[in-house]
């Protein structure tokens, strides 16, 4: 399933993505963007606009794992979930 992540070491905290797509982005305590929702990523034009509009290319939409219980946020599994050992809470 499609997932989204912010490359925090690239983000300059300009706020463009937060303005364009507040459903998916907000500022972290460090003043950079963070992903706040993994829902409604697939085919989302607003999210794509935020991604395309990032001046430093810090937003990536990628094929994440299919595990709905995946605990990564944002998902870092990139195809193969590494959260299988995590017990349900
Ligand atoms: S648009 Fe890019 S640089 Fe600006 S806050 Fe969002 S992720 Fe960071």
What is the domain-level CATH number for residue 21?
3.30.70.20
pLDDT above 50: residue 65: yes
- Pocket test residue of 17, 34, 35 for ligand 1, highest count of atoms within 8 A of CB: 17
Binding-site residues, ligand 1, Cβ < 6 A: 6, 11-17, 32-33, 54-56, 58-59
Count of domains observed in the chain: 1
With 0.85 as the threshold, say if the pTM is over it: no
Q: Which domain holds residue 23?
A: 2-62
The answer to whether 62 touches 78, Cβ cutoff 8 Å, is yes
pLDDT above 60: residue 80: yes
pLDDT, greater one: 66 or 75: 66
Predicted pLDDT of residue 16 = 98
The answer to whether 72 touches 37, Cβ cutoff 8 Å, is no
Q: Whose CA is nearest to atom 6 of ligand 1?
A: 17
Domain presence at residue 42:
yes
Average pLDDT, the chain: 88
Domain presence at residue 17:
yes
The answer to whether 74 touches 62, Cβ cutoff 8 Å, is no
């Amino acid at each position: 399933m499609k997932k989204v992540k912010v490359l925090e070491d690239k983000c300059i905290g300009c706020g463009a993505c937060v303005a364009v797509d507040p459903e998916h982005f907000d500022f972290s305590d460090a003043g950079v963007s963070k992903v706040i929702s993994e829902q409604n990523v697939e085919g989302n034009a607003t999210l794509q606009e935020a991604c395309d509009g990032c001046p430093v290319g810090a937003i990536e939409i990628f094929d994440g794992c299919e595990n709905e219980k995946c605990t990564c946020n944002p998902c870092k599994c990139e195809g193969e979930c590494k959260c299988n050992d995590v017990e349900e809470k």
